[in-house]
Amino acid sequence: MSFMDDNGPLADAGSTLRHTLANAFRMVDLTATLNEQTPCYPTDPPFTKSWHTLHSEQGFYVSRLEMGAHSGTHVDAPLHFLGDGFPDVAQLPLQALIGDAIALESPKDPGEDLTVADLAGADIKSGDIVLFRTGWDKRSASPAFFEDEWPGLQPSLVEELIRRGVKAVGGDIASADSPAAIAAGAPSHKLAGRAGMPIFEGLINLDQVIGQRFFFIGLPLKLQGGEASPIRAVALLPNVNPPSDAPQKR
């Protein structure tokens, strides 16, 4: 019997589960749309999509995609700046890519990095995913995203997050290291990578979850040997006013 059958106990279970999830949580999409306007790091290949087959000719569409692995909202694996011998994106444990999260409002101007001071008053717990909103997301979908001195994470901040047991870090930032820090060897990427911490970059809509605890999902493609991958990032927040019209059992 298929889980999607219209009748039977599995259909009842599936309907109940879908209803429970839909009513228990509200979802916030934290993912930038991938298209030809997606900004990319100056030395990375741009995103392009073309048709490999056309519906008008073969009766179906098949797309051809070309892009860098760091296109749009994505996750960096330790392999990115640490090289061979460190985990690629396919080797990232699933439990490091989903879990309890908190988003912190930390406005930054060009040339200003995130620091330990940006953790002041934050309810960070061991095992959390910590995400920062700097305001850089206002440049999302614009070439300005990779212009100026975007904010990065100061190495001392990464060290403090590691000390507190944080399992992943990220935000609306273009990179965990500012342009100057990348030129100096990307120390924050390397610190996070050695600790096994995935880095989520290019998130949007964090303003909708600021100051709240939520469940974060940021799953990449399972790219063997890949140093990064686009993700579909989602925040699940408790629905404080769920409807009471639960489906009736048959």
Superfamily in which the 28-238 domain is placed by CATH: Putative cyclase (3.50.30.50)
Nearest to 233 by CA among 206, 195, 207: 206
Quick one: average pLDDT of 48-68? Answer: 97
The sign of the CA dihedral 177, 217, 63, 222 is positive
pLDDT at residue 249 in the model = 37
- In this predicted model, what pLDDT tens digit does every residue of 103-137 receive, in sequence order? 999 999 999 999 999 999 999 999 999 999 999 99
Quick one: average pLDDT of 58-71? Answer: 97
- In this predicted model, what pLDDT tens digit does every residue of 183-233 receive, in sequence order? 999 999 999 999 999 999 999 999 999 989 999 999 999 999 999 999 999
- In this predicted model, what pLDDT tens digit does every residue of 76-113 receive, in sequence order? 999 999 999 999 999 999 999 999 999 999 999 999 99
Phi, psi of 151 (to 5 degrees): -70, 140
The sign of the CA dihedral 104, 105, 109, 112 is negative
Sole residue written with tokens 């999409």: 29
The active-site residue out of 70, 74, 80, 189 is 80
Residue pair 170/96 in contact by the 8 Å Cβ criterion: no
Alpha helices in 110-178 (DSSP H): 155-163
140 pLDDT above the threshold of 60: yes
Sole residue written with tokens 């309890």: 100
Alpha carbon 70 to its chain centroid, in Å, reads 11
74 carries an active-site annotation? no
Residue 173 to residue 73: CA distance in whole angstroms: 10
Core vs surface per residue 87-107: b (16+ CB within 10 A) or e: bbbeebeeebbbbebbbbebe
Neighbours of 173 (CB within 10 A): 29
Alpha carbon 249 to its chain centroid, in Å, reads 38
Residues 6+ apart with CB under 8 A from 126: 164, 165, 166
Q: What average pLDDT is seen over the chain?
A: 92
19 pLDDT above the threshold of 90: no
Phi, psi of 107 (to 5 degrees): -60, 135
Neighbours of 250 (CB within 10 A): 9
The pTM for the full model equals: 0.89
| Percentage of the residues of the chain whose pLDDT score is greater than 70 | 87
pLDDT at residue 7 in the model = 60
2 pLDDT above the threshold of 60: no
Residue pair 42/48 in contact by the 8 Å Cβ criterion: no
pLDDT at residue 194 in the model = 98
Residue ranges covered by each domain of the chain: 28-238
Nearest to 128 by CA among 103, 158, 102: 102
